[in-house]
């Protein structure tokens, strides 16, 4: 079965061989992300919606999820530096209720001092069969100080127009955001932000969950985005 552990399987296709080599020997972001999805995100409730590569401010969060509360996950492999992490965490803490850094067992104690105590930490290690195991080293603390304007800026103008029942051609997104800030408090805007993510990306995640047993891990993000039948691609 595709999408499961295949490291001791005989070679069947070139794509299968590439998948096994990458997962077993090249611990880049795609490898760690695929294993994190398999081990942490997919086992959660089917009502949970996960999102790949969501733009937030000047950053792009590796993974986020919404299941009543929102969480962001930033992956830093042994091939990465922590150079951009400070700015990334600032962006994520502005809009997500909880934030986690995912890094290797060898590096999680070396995270920079600017990583706040409220930030959760997952470490990972590679097992003999080539898969990765994740360990929650620190639980994230839920934030109540979210940037409502930044949350609204993530939502497209069309969603904001629908929310306020306004014609998009007659009003700017800046004006819509201003109106929302005047008419809704932070708690309501946070609820709208999570509702938007669930509505916008729920179909992508549900389709991915259906396809996942039939796709290779190195192709997860591509199938999440396009949702095509694996039989049409492999």
**Rounded-to-10 torsion of CA 161, 156, 63, 18:** 130
- Six token digits for residue 67: 């299941």
Task: Write the pLDDT tens digit of every residue in 140-159.
Answer: 999 989 999 999 999 999 99
Q: For residue 12, what pLDDT is reported?
A: 74
CA 193 to chain centre: 15
**Is 209 buried (19+), middle (13-18) or exposed (0-12) by CB count in 10 A?**
middle
| CB 100 within 8 Å of CB 41 | no
**Is residue 74 within 8 Å of 62, Cβ to Cβ?**
yes
- pLDDT digit string (tens) for 90-145? 999 999 999 999 999 999 999 999 999 999 999 999 998 888 999 999 999 999 89
Buried b (16+ CB within 10 A) or exposed e, 122-147: bbbebeeebbbebeebbebeebeebb
Segments of the chain with pLDDT less than 70: 1-11
77: CB partners within 8 A, 6+ apart:
27, 28, 29, 31, 32, 103, 104
- pLDDT score for 130: 86
Could you tell me the domains of the chain? 14-145 (3.40.1350)
């Amino acid at each position: 079965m595709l999408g499961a552990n295949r490291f001791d399987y005989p070679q069947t296709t070139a794509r299968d061989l590439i998948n096994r080599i990458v997962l077993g020997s090249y611990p880049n972001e795609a490898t760690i992300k695929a294993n994190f999805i398999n081990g942490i995100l997919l086992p959660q409730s089917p009502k949970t919606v996960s999102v790949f590569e969501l733009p937030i401010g000047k950053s792009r969060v590796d993974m986020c999820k919404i299941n009543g509360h929102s969480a962001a996950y930033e992956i830093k492999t042994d091939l990465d530096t922590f150079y951009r992490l400070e700015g990334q965490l600032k962006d994520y803490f502005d809009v997500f209720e909880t934030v986690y850094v995912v890094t290797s067992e060898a590096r999680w104690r070396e995270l920079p001092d600017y990583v706040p105590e409220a930030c959760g930490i997952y470490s990972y290690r590679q097992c003999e069969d080539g898969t990765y195991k994740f360990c929650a080293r620190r639980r994230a603390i839920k934030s109540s100080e979210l940037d409502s304007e930044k949350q609204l800026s993530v939502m497209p103008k069309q969603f904001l127009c629908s929310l306020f029942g306004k014609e998009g051609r007659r009003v700017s997104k800046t004006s819509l955001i201003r109106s929302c800030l005047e008419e809704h408090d932070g708690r309501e805007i946070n609820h709208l932000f999570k509702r938007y993510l669930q509505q916008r990306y729920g179909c992508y995640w549900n389709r991915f969950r259906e396809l996942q047993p039939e796709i290779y891990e190195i192709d997860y993000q591509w199938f999440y985005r396009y949702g095509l039948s694996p039989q049409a691609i492999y």
